Structure 1
């Protein structure tokens, strides 16, 4: 079964007009200019772009131009991001980070270098009678490491104004500390000595999302981690996330992700980290 847990496809951007649920991590390479929407948040892109999607994220293409997209998909059973985070340093940088854009613009040479590795995976997959899982994982690990390095370089070159940076960093720290208990934005606005209106405008300008969206994204991210990385029951996860009961948690999760926690766990699997 392992040979079906990684695949390479070439699609047209018109194929992404409707959200498509997938239990796979996806890396998309394309060039051009336009916009797309992920989980109802719009993003703009230009030039040579790499986009990173986690399981059950919803992608909708907004641009009318039909672009060619190279899509590499892999399942957590094939390559566990959490288990290999030391090797590729991409957990939370390329995938599952609610504070960062899900895509990067890369120089043309780097784009073609990563595209060449995509094609090597495709060639290895075509030789299905004798393809090596170790070789496929090595190519994938190199792709992730190169992407992680490029994204980290770009983050280090960002120089926002200092007062804004201080507030944003404080908000992120507060959210990480209190998202399970404090699910209203008034708490975070008051901690920054801002009105809720000024606070909301500042956060939306920085992240392209409202504070409420970020709070909900953080809860959902924690739920996904617990479902994938632990053997906790749905009831235990609901308690850990401070929900009234497992049924309310299941409704909340399905509303945000599109599938129930039980379905998500079955599709994505329980990581080797939990075993």
Structure 2
């Protein structure tokens, strides 16, 4: 149902239990200066200004115009803000399931839920104008009491698809201008294959025939993270996937991820996300795709 507030920048679509499913908010009404955890996906269009964007334990500098992204219940904030203006588009998985629309938008694992890529896109002034116009049209739809969720979802789908296309083009340019580190590409493949059984950087260094110190230096330079961070991030990413995209119990997920018991898994998950697995599932919900095969 559509819920309107007095502030035009804060119009929302809420679920029956009051969860914010969809909204557009402005920098003057929505602060990112202190760490927050939200149950929605975020697309942050930076109109101008600069700062340092933190998403969980990763951070990087940015300047506008640019696009920043956040997955549900990441701890995010921006520090050292300078003359910054932005618009935030928030949507919950219960409003629009990116996994169910993988073919249309192809953003899962690209804009969201990727431990190797910075969750950002540097955009041109023309791209900024295009994205800003789409957001303005969305605001107009939210202001219209006769608007439908179908129209809002259509606009959201276009924005996500355009973001995915822009990200892919940026990556293609990076391939041309940046030399590829074959050892780190091997590490990426190895980590995705072995993260359940190999939990120490030394294990990967041995297979790659390099010293642990060299692995750490190369990983920081190439991915912006240490091998330990990447191993932890990969485990957490899979845990979130299981909690959101399946109906498995916490105990079953702990067993699947090869933890000794569900209590150890819960402590590990909370250490790196600040919330328990059950709270993550309660706030993020179970995706509709979890029930498709039932």
- TM interval, shorter chain, is over 0.9
Give a deviation string over 1:72-115, Cα, whole Å, max 9, x none.
00000011011101101111000010010110101111111111
Aligned to 2:280: 264
Give a deviation string over 1:52-79, Cα, whole Å, max 9, x none.
1000111121214141110000000011
Aligned to 2:172: 156
SS in 2 for 1:37: strand
- Give the conservation status (yes or no) of the 8 Å contact 1:203–1:210: yes
Gaps of 5+ in 2: 3-12, 15-20
How far did 1:190 drift? 1.3
Count residues in correspondence.
272
Aligned to 1:97: 114
* Structure 2 counterparts to residues 1-275 of structure 1, below 5 A: 1=1, 3-4=13-14, 5-12=21-28, 15-30=31-46, 31-127=48-144, 129-159=145-175, 160-162=178-180, 164=181, 166-275=182-291
Gaps of 5+ in 1: none
SS in 1 for 2:31: helix
Separation in 1 of the partners of 2:51 and 2:33? Answer: 14
More strand by share: 2
- Give the conservation status (yes or no) of the 8 Å contact 1:24–1:55: yes
In structure 2, relative to structure 1, the CA distance for the partners of 1:92 and 1:13 (3 Å cut) is farther
How far did 1:13 drift? 10
What TM-score comes out, normalization by structure 2 length? 0.89
Instruction: Report the RMSD for the aligned CA atoms in angstroms.
Output: 1.5
Higher relative contact order (CA 8 A, sep 6+): 1
- Give the conservation status (yes or no) of the 8 Å contact 1:14–1:61: no
Q: Which 4+ residue blocks in structure 1 deviate beyond 6 angstroms?
A: none
